[in-house]
Copies of this chain bind each other. A is one copy, B any other.
Amino acid sequence: MADYKITDLNKVKRGSNRATYDITTINSIIDAGFIAHVSYIYQGKAISIPMAYVRLENKIYIHGSLKNRMLLAILEAKEASLTIMHLDGLVLARSGFHHSVNYRSATIFGAVTSIDDDDQKTTILKAIVNQMVPDRWDSLRPMTHKERNATLVLEVSMDTASAKIRDVGVVDEKVDEDLPIWAGVVPVKQVALPPISDDKLSDETKIPVHVLEYYEKNKL
């Protein structure tokens, strides 16, 4: 795939050697998570709120209550940006100045519209649940009309985006490399712990395959 066009808005100015505009790379950063920080303006102030999301093709979808302040603000503004970040490691250099982190982050800018078609809303809400835990949706009690009507679903077009990736070791000043100071990387990772069944479950209701698979895939 191609790159996003570089504009003044999405151009990475600091650490540009770590920047990428490659659509495939940016999509892989987006798809590796399910919580984005969505930014909006309220009373002239910029605020960001963590929200569940899913990407379908070249659009991102978020949802929430019909009265959600952030959702209503970006719907009125007709645009939003989202930032997704995965922390991969602490980079401990020989000087404070070169301390850093390894990470993958993406920022997306796009137009915001409301999804009002019932079937499309259902498709998106299913995808949001399955983005959290693959294959979960089909095991659930079907969504009611009341629930769907109580949910605001917004589409954010991915008009432009950029990503930054740092995935290398310590980069110290040449003159510091011989100092007797330990330097290195401490990798960090978000892992799943064993599932805890709801105490209202009957003894016959076992942990399903999709949850066991999620745990196996995400445990340390």
Tally of A interface residues using CB under 8 Å: 96
A37 interface residue per 8 A CB criterion: yes
Question: With A133-B90, A147-B97 known to touch, is A140 a contact of B181 (CB < 8 Å)?
Answer: yes
Q: Which of B49, B132, B143 contacts A83 (CB 8 A)?
A: B49
Could you tell me the distance in whole angstroms from the C-beta of A76 to the nearest C-beta in chain B?
Answer: 13
Question: With A45-B109, A143-B97 known to touch, is A67 a contact of B191 (CB < 8 Å)?
Answer: no
List residues of A (65-93) whose CB comes within 8 Å of B's CBs: 65, 67-69, 79-81, 83, 85, 87, 90, 92-93
Q: Chain B residues with Cβ under 8 A from A99's Cβ?
A: 129, 132, 136
B-facing mask of A5-35, CB < 8 A → 1, else 0? 0001100011000000000000000000001
Could you tell me the distance in whole angstroms from the C-beta of A149 to the nearest C-beta in chain B?
Answer: 11
| Cα–Cα distance between A178 and B201 once the two chains are bound (Å) | 7
